């Protein structure tokens, strides 16, 4: 018991346990069919509509139906895992687990979620154009390049936020 108590007093160990607990609850929650149907699918539809709107502004003849974004030139279907939600959950779990003020956490969550969504929007639009102009490279671009970049961006955003929050905390003391 003493070892657990001394381990819990280490900020890195406490962060890791809290992070994994929040992430586990978040991932478990979105795995429920009712949550998927009530939250994840409508969120993914919103991402599809937003992507379709951007592509429309870029001059594409886009139709959005549910999670499908299509034109006479190419079509993409946005699934869970391609909607930015997983990266968002990882980011939010890291922010909530980090020892910072609730004000800093709230600001970090809002800014991070907006940034992740913007990055994911660039991802979807670029994948559409890769499908139009370089269809042989679509799968590699989707799976190998963009999935990695979006996750790395989320982690990078968290690192920037955590450094900022830690600096602000040190200055406030």
How is the chain split into domains, by residue range? 2-172
Partners of 75 in beta bridges: 70
CA nearest neighbour of 52 among 39, 41, 66, 38: 66
The burial of 136, by beta-carbon neighbours within 10 Å (0-12 exposed, 13-18 middle, 19 or more buried), is given as exposed
Rounded to 10 degrees, what is the CA torsion of 75, 36, 53, 70? 10
Per-residue pLDDT band at 87 (split at 50, 70, 90) = very high
- For residues 120 and 108, what is the distance between their CA atoms, to the nearest angstrom? 18
The residue-averaged pLDDT of 19-36 equals: 96
What proportion of the chain, given as a percentage, has pLDDT over 70? 95
């Amino acid at each position: 018991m003493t070892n657990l108590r001394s381990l819990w007093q280490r900020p890195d160990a406490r962060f890791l346990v809290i992070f994994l607990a929040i992430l586990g609850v978040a991932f478990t929650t979105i795995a429920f069919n009712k949550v998927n149907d009530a939250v994840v699918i409508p969120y993914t539809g919103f991402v599809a509509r937003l992507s379709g709107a951007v592509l429309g502004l870029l001059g594409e003849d886009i139709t959005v139906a549910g999670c499908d974004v299509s034109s006479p030139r190419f079509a993409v279907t946005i699934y869970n895992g391609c909607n930015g939600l997983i990266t968002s959950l990882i980011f939010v779990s890291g922010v909530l687990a980090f020892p910072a003020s609730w004000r800093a956490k709230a600001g970090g969550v809002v800014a991070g979620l907006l940034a992740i969504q913007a990055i994911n929007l660039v991802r979807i639009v670029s994948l559409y154009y890769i499908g139009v102009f370089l269809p042989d490279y679509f799968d590699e671009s989707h799976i190998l390049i963009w999935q990695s970049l979006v996750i790395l961006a989320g982690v990078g955003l968290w690192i920037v936020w955590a450094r900022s929050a830690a600096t602000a905390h040190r200055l406030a003391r």
